[in-house]
């Protein structure tokens, strides 16, 4: 497990009374340094969320030193509707953001990002799916992210896995289930034990596959001997040397992530990568060229997706990231576009994003032409601008494979099936 320095550990009611969740708490505590360990009820958790502004956390900024609040929480699967409403009335801060799961509800969550209504409203192309979540928050401190202020961990994983048969019945046709992009999942393993249970569960499924979002870390050795039966995909977020070491604080380096993927592929796991977010640092072309060459020297991913930095205008970027690390042309473009209208998440102007994507696509096709690629959460304008390139891989705006799409499971005819040798 990634060692964590926490400002406090809060343990909700019901954890100590169950032998499995209590044992899990002790295992996690062994890797978390904190002077404060406190047992709390709903009212106290509600106050903690309000006092620490956990429903509206701020981005970390460059190389911040933040000790997160850690909550040992639990799923409340069996709460009757009247109790849910009573808790919502008494403890409203626990219900502000369903993704944070302070209230203990959810875990098998619908991500509505691909419906015609969503595309019409946002202008963004993505795919809807059911996703698996048991942790929200992260021990890493990427400058542009906010998930380092708290880590809310659902402790009754066995109860969650026991319900998966029923949950999956809700999703006829979905073959890939992502776990857990609200964190970098394997950071907490093997002490947490969620990854092993889910890998073993999906190993018994015939049609469905698990995607473990490893993210920006390299803690995967515990996975190498799990009998996954080829039904687990491991997904990394990959960035170049400057970004991975200077901007994505405390994460694994570019080379460490690639080495971890190589280990997993040699252990029989399917591997894939997100180049996300692409931040134009100084010499970004040279660094991304080196990254892509290093990746394909050691690993054969079945698909690559990419997106540029999102939800950040010029003011936010220079506040969160040391401008001396960034490409001067990029900074100039962002400053000149400050205040212009744009789609949410598309603050970097279209023409500049196209320039970045053109370079990335050229490098991917130069190094491994047969590997399919797709945009991640991008605008229709961008997709249509690259339609002639995508069609060469049988990809289109209405039919494509990506990292976490509901049918982007191994065996899909659009995925690269070439194995590494």
Whose CA is closest to 201, among 172, 158, 243, 140?
158
Closest CA to 139 of 206, 83, 191: 191
Spell out the per-residue pLDDT of the chain, length 421, in tens: 999 999 999 999 999 999 999 999 999 999 999 999 999 999 999 999 999 999 999 999 999 999 999 999 999 999 999 999 999 999 999 999 999 999 999 999 999 999 999 999 999 999 999 999 999 999 999 999 999 999 999 999 999 999 999 999 999 999 999 999 999 999 999 999 999 999 999 999 999 999 999 999 999 999 999 999 999 999 999 999 999 999 999 999 999 999 999 999 999 999 999 999 999 999 999 999 999 999 999 999 999 999 999 999 999 999 999 999 999 999 999 999 999 989 888 999 999 999 999 999 999 999 999 999 999 999 999 999 999 999 999 999 999 999 999 999 999 999 986 444 3
At residue 413, what are phi and psi to the nearest 5 degrees? -65, -20
pLDDT at 417: 63
Using CA atoms, how far apart are residues 211 and 191, in angstroms rounded to an integer? 20
| First CA to last CA distance, the chain | 30
Whole-angstrom distance, CA of residue 64 vs CA of residue 205: 42
Q: What is the pTM of this model?
A: 0.97
pLDDT at 112: 94
The DSSP code sequence of 145-190 is --TTSEEEEE--HHHHHHTHHHHHTT-TT--EEEE-TTS-GGGGTT
Q: Which tokens hold the place of 157?
A: 């994983």
Answer whether 404's CB lies under 8 Å from 113's CB. Answer: no
H-type alpha helices, 325-393: 328-337, 350-367, 380-385, 387-390
Question: Is residue 274 classed as helix, strand or coil in its secondary structure?
Answer: strand
**Cα distances (Å, whole numbers) of residue 365 to 116, 224, 398:** 31, 30, 22
pLDDT at 416: 80
Residues in the chain: 421
Residue 174 and residue 167: Cα distance in Å, rounded? 12
pLDDT at 331: 98
Phi, psi of 69 (to 5 degrees): -80, 130
Name the percent of the chain in helix, strand, coil, to the closest 5.
35, 20, 45
> Domains in the chain, ordered, with CATH?
4-393 (3.80.30.30)
Torsion over CA: 127, 97, 170, 270 (sign): positive
Q: How far apart are CA 307 and CA 329, in angstroms?
A: 19
Give the pLDDT confidence of 118-159 residue by residue, as tens digits: 999 999 999 999 999 999 999 999 999 999 999 999 999 999
């Amino acid at each position: 497990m990634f060692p964590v320095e926490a400002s406090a550990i809060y343990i909700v009611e019901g954890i100590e009374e169950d032998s499995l969740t209590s044992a899990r708490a002790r295992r996690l505590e062994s890797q978390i340094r904190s002077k404060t360990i406190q047992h709390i009820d709903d009212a106290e958790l509600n106050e903690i969320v309000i006092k620490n502004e956990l429903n509206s956390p701020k981005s970390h900024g460059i190389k911040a030193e933040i000790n997160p609040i850690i909550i040992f929480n639990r799923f409340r699967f069996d709460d009757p509707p009247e109790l849910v409403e009573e808790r919502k009335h008494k403890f409203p801060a626990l219900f502000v953001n369903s993704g944070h799961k302070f209230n203990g509800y959810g875990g098998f969550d619908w991500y509505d990002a691909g419906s015609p209504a969503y595309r019409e409203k946002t202008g963004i192309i993505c795919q809807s799916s059911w996703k698996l979540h048991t942790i929200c928050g992260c021990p890493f401190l990427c400058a542009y992210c906010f998930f380092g202020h708290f880590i809310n961990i659902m402790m009754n994983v066995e109860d969650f896995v026991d319900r998966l048969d029923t949950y999956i019945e809700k999703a006829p046709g979905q073959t890939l289930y992502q776990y857990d992009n609200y964190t970098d999942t394997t950071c907490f393993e093997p002490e947490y034990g969620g990854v092993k249970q889910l890998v073993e569960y999906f190993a018994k499924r015939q049609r469905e596959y698990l995607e473990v979002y490893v993210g920006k870390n390299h803690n995967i050795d515990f996975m190498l001997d799990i009998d996954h039966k080829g039904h687990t995909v491991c997904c990394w977020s990959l960035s170049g040397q400057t970004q991975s070491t200077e901007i994505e604080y405390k994460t694994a380096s570019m080379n460490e992530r690639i080495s971890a993927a190589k280990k997993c592929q040699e252990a029989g796991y399917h591997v894939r990568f997100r180049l996300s977010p692409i931040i134009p640092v100084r010499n970004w072309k040279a660094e991304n060229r080196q990254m892509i060459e290093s990746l394909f020297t050691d690993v054969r991913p079945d698909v690559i997706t990419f997106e540029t930095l999102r939800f950040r205008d010029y003011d936010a970027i220079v506040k969160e990231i040391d401008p001396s690390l960034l490409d001067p042309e990029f900074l100039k473009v962002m400053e000149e576009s400050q205040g212009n209208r744009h789609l949410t998440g598309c603050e970097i102007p279209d023409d500049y994003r196209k320039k970045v994507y053109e370079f990335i696509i050229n490098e991917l096709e130069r190094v491994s032409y047969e590997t399919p690629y797709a945009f991640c959460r991008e605008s229709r304008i961008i997709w249509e601008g690259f339609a002639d390139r995508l069609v060469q891989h049988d990809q289109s705006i209405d039919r494509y494979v990506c990292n976490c799409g509901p049918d982007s499971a191994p065996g899909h005819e659009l995925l690269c099936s070439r194995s590494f040798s």
